[in-house]
Structure 1
């Protein structure tokens, strides 16, 4: 009498389309979490402080939440990109304001914001620049206003370095301390809850981008 076949039933192999989708998804994940993640934060932060403001804090937080060893390299990349971008706008404001103003001050609202920022900086000097760098005020407008207000180059460089460095590294310290709890809370959520949260942050990202135009 032959023995019954006790081997587990073989699982059906995924279709070619399923394998392709899975492969593409894995490649996208690797690209987002690979060696280019930190350089991408630098470039994104540079763009945020020169061409147009955008919510760089969202991808920065996502990178920091990957683990504690990612926190401070990400903070350093974002801070460096913001500082160099601000220094570029400040230098151009001192040398060629008429050439760059149309690229930054493109409507009456931006012009009014620039005028207010310039008035504050003319009164407070480098301390006003430092304070502005800690707030959501667009970096390029503050840098432009500082150049027009005649803030000294050394003082501006010191103010933007301390301000942007403090902003991003303070964020890093917070996520270094509680990032594991945030990730644990994310894993605790059911799948529908995760998708709902992803949709919320995606909508927030798009809304903040729209506000920058």
Structure 2
């Protein structure tokens, strides 16, 4: 990510990674987003915006596919008990609360794919869905951006003041955590 950022590819990489995270498989996009944000204050809000737009585009892709092929996709999802109950729960919330339920789901750890599929199955209005997803994802990543904007430099100063072996151990822990989360998202 660092090499891509120095070559000017950080924002397209964040957009594409966020698109994949929302459209295909859930993985922690926050880690590469945070890495880009910590490059400096001028990188914070563009990185958050690229990630939010990529996430919204991925969610819209799933929503459109679900709307077009609801019968085929629904039978595939409902055949998997681990997804079927989540899908039914999300669908019920969407039928009752529509765009507000989508907006709230975009702020939570609920997989974006399930919300998008359920909204497509439930026949939620495309403009309502798009607005709810975009507002929810922008708010989620903007909140992260504000925190990094105000506290990121102090956090980096604190980090650099730690002994090198401690930093290496902590970095290894977070890389392992990222790989475990990525593997879990592929397994689910």
Asked if 2 retains the 8 angstrom alpha-carbon contact of 1:71 and 1:176, the reply is: yes
Asked if 2 retains the 8 angstrom alpha-carbon contact of 1:104 and 1:141, the reply is: no
Q: Deviations over 1:84-135 (max 9, x none)?
A: 1111111111111244457767732122211111111111111111000000
Q: How many pairs align? A: 186
Q: Deviations over 1:28-76 (max 9, x none)?
A: 8433543111111111000001111000001101110110000011101
Relative to structure 1, the CA distance from residue 89 to residue 187 in structure 2 (aligned partners, 3 Å threshold; closer, same or farther) is: same
Correspondences of 1:11-90 after superposition (within 5 Å): 29-90=2-63
Relative to structure 1, the CA distance from residue 105 to residue 36 in structure 2 (aligned partners, 3 Å threshold; closer, same or farther) is: farther
Larger Rg: 1
Asked if 2 retains the 8 angstrom alpha-carbon contact of 1:129 and 1:160, the reply is: yes
TM-score (norm 1): 0.82
The aligned counterpart of 1:185 is 158
The aligned counterpart of 1:11 is none
Q: Deviations over 1:8-28 (max 9, x none)?
A: xxxxxxxxxxxxxxxxxxxx8
Unaligned runs of 5+ in 1: 1-27
The aligned counterpart of 1:137 is 110
Q: RMSD across aligned C-alpha pairs, in angstroms? A: 1.8
The aligned counterpart of 1:176 is 149
Relative to structure 1, the CA distance from residue 119 to residue 172 in structure 2 (aligned partners, 3 Å threshold; closer, same or farther) is: same
Structure 1 runs of 4+ with >6 Å offset: 102-106
Relative to structure 1, the CA distance from residue 159 to residue 202 in structure 2 (aligned partners, 3 Å threshold; closer, same or farther) is: same
Would you tell me which structure has more helix in proportion to its own residues? 2
